[in-house]
Amino acid sequence: MAEPYTVQLVNQGDFDGTTPISLTRDNFTVEEQRLYSGVLSGPAGIIPADIFGLFSPRATKLVGIAISSDNPLNAAQVLDANGRVREQINLRSQIQYVLLHGTDRLAVLSKDGRCTLTLVVNELSESDHVQWALTHPPIQEHTRARIFRSAGGPFNFNSAQSAWIPNFTWDGHQLGDVDEASNGPIPIASLLYPRRYGAYVSIRYSGSQNDGQFIIYEPQTGSMWPVQTSMVDGVWSRVQYLAHTDMLGLKASPTVAGSRVLVDIEIVRVEPGDRLRGRYAAPALNPTADNL
């Protein structure tokens, strides 16, 4: 990896996160071919993929970014060529590093008025990129789903009904939602991929009479466990573990007949080894934790 370039941008106002910055390398004061300093006087918010002409726009780059205060409202986003957000970080005076793939840009938002933004940029070789990848494994994300009933009517779990696989639609705001009125058991595997994993699950009813129930259903024996009842409206349930063959049952009444009641479901898969380690440790940490 070559020695990095450092870019310092003094902005007379705030970064707005949306306006492309039109500076080129000729607009900067250069010291020893490594430190580039520039001043912004108008709207500014998006740093181009070529970092003001210092790099190829299609090169993979490791970018350190810092701002002159620790205001928690200051933020930066890595945007792909279509403006989709790959990553977002809160900016601090301490330099933090993000990876920019080819044609990625940086969007910067600040709330300090006059401020100084510092970038430390390296173009990555193939071996540099591999090393970065090996030290940044995939992150397990949780799934957030919402089931509502715009026509009114309660959630009224009925184990005799066939399995209910909700047809969720991605709403573009990190949420899958669906308007459906089935009362059958929901296979927990239908909410996960790959399907072979168990999961930690928490649910929350909204618009209910504080009578919500969180039910686990085991289909081969027909056994069911109302693991939490009389759930307070708007409050998340305790976290429960459901195996990949288990099913989820929902039960709650709307506050007024015909009004909307909905349930939010948060779910994250559990690696088999993590599950067993947690269950092994639970008796020593909390003898009553029987469903970790």
For position 282, what pLDDT does the model report? 67
For position 276, what pLDDT does the model report? 82
143-285 matches 5-134 in CATH topology: yes
Bridge partners of residue 148, in order along the sequence: 179, 262
> Fold for domain 143-285?
Jelly Rolls (2.60.120)
Phi, psi of 31 (to 5 degrees): -120, 120
Which one, of 147, 163, 245, lies nearest residue 203 by Cα? 147
Give every CB contact of residue 124 below 8 A, 6+ residues apart in sequence. Answer: 1, 59, 60, 61, 62, 132
For position 291, what pLDDT does the model report? 55
- Mean pLDDT per 10-residue section of the chain, whose length is 292 residues: 88 95 94 93 95 95 95 95 93 95 96 94 92 84 88 91 93 85 93 84 96 96 95 96 94 90 93 78 56 54
Name which CATH class applies to 5-134. mainly beta
- How do the domains of the chain map onto residue ranges? 5-134, 143-285
For position 175, what pLDDT does the model report? 87
For position 279, what pLDDT does the model report? 77
